[in-house]
């Protein structure tokens, strides 16, 4: 009887060893990830993704590989939804477009929240920003791997008219995202905000459906918007960010070692982006000049005229997004600057 019992125990122990080995093999099996991005390859926010692919392969000895599919899975909101559904593993989206799914980044959409690009970067390390990221993840089922910047805040570009003060933008049809805060800002300036998906923006400009856009300088160049706009006003009034995220269920199914590799690779390219992006801006302005785009830098008095609408915009946005936008959180973010 004891022999039989020992045999059973040996069988159980052997089974556990075999099962454990199989489980380890399954967890560490080769994983192929698909990355979707609505921005074109070679841009300030997609170069980090290419680096991520290379780093991830190196860190996992090619056990985890990833492939970029640029502009292949539809517009930003559609791409985000496919990542939420698990059809695509990793995706990207601006914080402005994220307002379709969550109110987490509403405070970051407020114009004149930060005066300098570095202030925005510093805020991302604060406890309040980490709370907002956690809210985004809870609301969407997406895990934020990194947040990329464009090297500068948003400016305003137009087809036929140079803007110097808000008086110049009165009645001008400006392409915006669906963000209600963004729409509120342009209404406060007297413009005619017109939401258009980014994928259709260049066509809308060329056809005259809209007369202007509001992009950071590097994006004007990388997306070839210079083919339609000829004037750029350097306001840097809003610090847009680019979210790099993964389906949370997919991430959780990776082995701990692979999870660590994904996060390490993402953080390394995030750090690289924060050093790389600002260096591109001055060179991009020169290149846009060569391509026929006139850039105007408002003086302090003119910039103050644009910023004068801040309180009105913030108040209108808070009223419109009651229960979703907390101005106390926005002020907490603004206070994080060093």
Tokens of 322: 């009651």
Summarize the confidence of residues 252-274 as an average pLDDT: 97
Question: Is 3.40.190.170 the CATH classification of the domain at 30-106+114-151+240-280?
Answer: yes
Q: Which residues pair with 201 in a beta bridge?
A: none
The domains of the chain are located at 30-106+114-151+240-280, 156-239+282-334
Summarize the confidence of residues 294-305 as an average pLDDT: 95
Contact 102, 140 (CB under 8 A): yes
The C-alpha atoms of residue 54 and residue 124 are separated, in whole angstroms, by 25
pLDDT for the residue numbered 29: 74
| % of the chain with per-residue pLDDT over 90 | 69
Which one is the CATH code of 156-239+282-334: 3.30.70.260, 3.40.190.170, 3.40.50.970, 3.40.30.10?
3.40.190.170
Q: What is the distance, to the nearest Å, from the Cα of residue 250 to the centroid of all Cα atoms in its chain?
A: 20
Q: The pTM is what?
A: 0.79
Q: How do residues 43-69 score in pLDDT, each as one tens digit?
A: 889 999 999 999 999 999 999 999 999
Q: How do residues 200-255 score in pLDDT, each as one tens digit?
A: 999 999 999 999 999 988 889 888 999 999 999 999 999 889 999 999 999 999 99
Summarize the confidence of residues 147-175 as an average pLDDT: 95
Kindly indicate the confidence band of residue 17, based on its pLDDT and cuts at 50, 70 and 90: very low
Contact 143, 245 (CB under 8 A): yes
pLDDT for the residue numbered 338: 53
Lowest mean pLDDT: which of 125-129, 182-186, 292-296? 182-186
Q: How do residues 22-46 score in pLDDT, each as one tens digit?
A: 333 344 579 999 999 988 888 889 9
| % of the chain with per-residue pLDDT over 70 | 91
In this structure, are strands 90-94 and 241-247 parallel, antiparallel, or unpaired?
Answer: antiparallel
The C-alpha atoms of residue 176 and residue 224 are separated, in whole angstroms, by 17
Q: Which residues pair with 91 in a beta bridge?
A: 245
The two counts, helices (H) then strands (E), for the chain are 14, 11
Summarize the confidence of residues 299-304 as an average pLDDT: 94
In three-state form (DSSP H/G/I as H, E/B as E, the rest C), the secondary structure along 95-138 is HHHHCCCCCCCHHHHCCCCCCCHHHHHHHCCCHHHHHHHHHHHH
Contact 54, 266 (CB under 8 A): no
The C-alpha atoms of residue 185 and residue 176 are separated, in whole angstroms, by 10
Q: How do residues 84-113 score in pLDDT, each as one tens digit?
A: 999 999 999 999 889 889 999 999 989 999
Distances (CA, A) of 4 to 1, 14, 15, 124: 5, 15, 16, 63
Q: Is the pLDDT of residue 3 over 80?
A: no
């Amino acid at each position: 009887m004891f022999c039989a019992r020992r045999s059973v125990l040996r069988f159980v122990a052997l089974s556990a060893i075999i099962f454990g080995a199989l489980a380890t093999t399954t967890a560490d099996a080769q994983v192929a990830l698909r990355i979707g991005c609505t921005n074109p390859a070679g841009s300030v926010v997609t170069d980090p993704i290419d680096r991520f692919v290379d780093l991830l392969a190196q860190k996992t000895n090619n056990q985890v590989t990833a492939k970029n599919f640029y502009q292949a899975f539809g517009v930003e909101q559609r791409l985000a939804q496919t990542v939420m559904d698990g059809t695509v593993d990793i995706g990207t989206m601006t914080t402005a477009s994220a307002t379709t799914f969550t109110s987490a980044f509403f405070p970051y959409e407020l114009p004149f929240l930060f005066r300098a690009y570095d202030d925005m970067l510093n805020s991302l390390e604060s406890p309040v920003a980490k709370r907002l990221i956690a809210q985004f993840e809870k609301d969407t089922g997406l895990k934020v791997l990194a947040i990329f910047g464009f090297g500068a805040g948003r400016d305003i570009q137009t087809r036929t008219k140079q803007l110097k003060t808000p008086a110049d933008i009165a009645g001008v049809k400006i392409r915006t995202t669906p963000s209600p805060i963004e729409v509120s800002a342009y209404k406060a300036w007297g413009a005619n905000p017109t939401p258009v998906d980014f994928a259709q923006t260049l066509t809308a400009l060329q056809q005259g459906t809209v007369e202007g856009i509001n992009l950071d300088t590097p994006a004007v160049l990388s997306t070839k918007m210079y083919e339609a706009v000829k004037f750029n006003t350097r306001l840097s009034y809003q610090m847009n960010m680019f979210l790099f995220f993964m389906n949370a269920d997919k991430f959780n199914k990776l082995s701990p070692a692979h999870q660590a590799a994904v996060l390490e690779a993402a953080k390394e390219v995030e750090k690289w982006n924060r050093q790389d992006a600002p260096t591109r801006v001055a060179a991009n302005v020169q290149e846009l000049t060569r391509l026929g785009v006139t850039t105007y830098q408002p003086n302090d008095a003119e910039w103050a005229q644009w910023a004068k609408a801040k309180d009105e915009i913030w108040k209108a946005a808070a009223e419109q997004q009651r229960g979703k936008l907390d101005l106390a959180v926005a002020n907490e973010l603004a206070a994080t600057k060093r």
